[in-house]
Structure 1
Amino acid sequence: MNEQEHWQGFITAFNEERFVDGVLQLEELWFPSRNDLYRGLIRLSVALNQLRLGIVDSPRQLLASAYDMLAPFETNQHNLDIRRIREYIQDCASLIPADLRTGQGRIDWDLVPRIQL
């Protein structure tokens, strides 16, 4: 697969909430480039997958780091509105109470906002 096919594979998988599949596509782009845009989107995808599984500690950290990693890319990249994605990350992170730990409770996946890339 070429770069465009991996990128489109990520977009499709993310939009269908197949986050693990999306991560696999993005890792093919990230490994040779070590680009923080890809790494930030990988962390967002992993965080969303973990929230869906009922994990809260790791997603809290992943969302914070994804937000920071995407900051240099405020303008559109690969036809993505990075500012909108960062706002989405903040919305998701705000759902996780600071004192909630994995095993003590979970975030209702139906309450997590959705975004299409």
Structure 2
Amino acid sequence: MHPPLDPLAIDHFNAGRYRDALLAFEGQWHSERSELLKALINLSNAMLQLQIGLVTAPRRNLARAVDMLTTCSPAVAAAAGVDLPRLHAAIARVQACIPPDAVSGEDQIDPARIPSIQIRTGNDDHTG
């Protein structure tokens, strides 16, 4: 069984404090190397990069997160309280905001136009 995700990391992520979420997920990663945590680290990193106006690296990190979530066991995700289909749909909404030809340094996306993502867990009252 997959240990629960760090509630503080989830709170940080859901509040849009992606740097804090990234650090908290990385802290959990040191003791538990799972594909789910690796995906959430990439997702946190991508959302942080979008917050500061980058486009190239977040596009790559979002794609990596999707790839990792796709290979993640649904049972593992469910045990950790993550609704994979809902998370995939939320990531797709963010990806749709990044033009495929946009390049960091030349193009910028208004961070206010990026939809938020909530990590929904079935183990508590976190919403998404």
Q: Identify the TM-score tier after normalising by the shorter chain.
A: 0.7 to 0.9
Alignment of 1:10-25 (within 5 A): 10-25=9-24
Query: What is the RMSD computed on CA atoms of the aligned residues?
Result: 1.7
Total equivalences in the alignment: 114
- The farther-off stretch of 100-109 and 53-62 is 100-109
Alignment map for 1:30-45 (pairs within 5 Å):
30-45=29-44
Question: Runs ≥4 in structure 1, deviation > 6 angstroms?
Answer: none
List alignment gaps of at least 5 residues for structure 2.
120-128
CA distance in 2, matches of 1:52, 1:27: 19
SS in 1 for 2:30: helix
Give the structure with the higher percent helix: 1
**Residue number in structure 1 paired with 2:125:** none
SS at match of 1:33: coil
**1:91 aligned partner:** 93
Higher alpha-carbon deviation: 91-100 or 54-63: 91-100
- The normalised TM-score by structure 1 is 0.88
Residue of structure 2 in register with 1:107 after alignment: 109
Question: Could you tell me the percent identity over the aligned residues?
Answer: 34
1:62 aligns with 2:24: no
